A = this chain, B = another copy of it.
Amino acid sequence: MIKVIAFDADDTLWVNEPFFREAEEEFASLMEVFMPRHSIIKEVYQTEIDNLDKYGYGIKGFILSMIQTALRISDHKIPVTFIDKILQIGYDMMEKPVELLPGVEDVLDYLKDDFRLVMATKGDLVDQEKKLKKSGLDHYFHHIEIMSEKKNADFAKLIRHLDVEPEEFVMMGNSLKSDILPVLELGGHAIHIPFHTTWEYERIEYEVAHDNFYQAKHIAEVVSMIRLM
């Protein structure tokens, strides 16, 4: 019954969120003469959220949000060389190797002949294309969708574009908010594969209960789950 299997990328196929957390820690180390570390991290998070409409997701927007936060929380008392250090934190993030999560390649290889595999990821076009290239996973995917948002309308458009019915579509990912709930609401199937670190913005507090909802501890479990759908 399932025709298309869509995979989130960051923290589903490869490690991502920990690099942002590391970068925040470096930023906190730079700025801790002005404020306690946990407050710095709160401030930069708030700036990021406030800037989402303007900058979207991704490293460039994150760098700009760190710069803006540094100016604000220091009351413009930072030396201008701090700006270089913040730019450097961003460059370092872009240069990180892509670290595939365990089992990912086996699962893609196992499923690729029986289903159309799609990568559906939120983020910056340049960041995500670079990671995909570094990952070596490109050839498994029939279609790559880099989305500025993952809301109901975005998934509805993707499913229409793939020319399948929602019930023929399954999405898997680590974010209940972005990967799971919108797809369930549209009548699709969704598999949640939690990752140890979730960005605060993606966290939701309630339990999901739905006939089309599945929970996996590890990506390897999806192989048998999909056969049951």
- Interface set of A (CB-CB < 8 Å, partner B): 54-56, 60-61, 63-64, 67-68, 71, 76-81, 83-84, 87, 90-91, 94, 124-126, 129, 143, 146, 148, 161
Contacts and interface: CB of A to CB of B under 8 A. Distances in A.
Contact of A83 (B71, B124, B129, B148): B71
Interface centre among A80, A90, A148 (most CB of B within 10 A): A80
Contacts of A78: 80
Contacts of A63: 64
A60 B64 contact: yes
Given A54-B94, A76-B84, A83-B83, 19 more contacts: A54-B91, A55-B126, A56-B124, A56-B126, A64-B90, A67-B67, A67-B83, A71-B80, A71-B83, A76-B80, A77-B80, A78-B80, A80-B80, A124-B124, A124-B125, A125-B125, A125-B146, A125-B148, A129-B148
A79 B71 CA distance: 11
Tell me the interface secondary structure of chain A in the complex.
helix
Contacts of A129: 148
Contacts of A68: 87
A220 B77 CA distance: 55
Query: What are the 10 tightest A-B residue pairs by CB atom distance, in nearest-first order?
Result: A56-B126, A60-B60, A125-B125, A125-B148, A76-B80, A80-B80, A129-B148, A126-B148, A76-B81, A54-B94
Contacts of A60: 55, 60-61, 64
A100 to B, nearest CB: 22
Residue of A60, A79, A84 with most partner-chain B CB within 10 A? A60
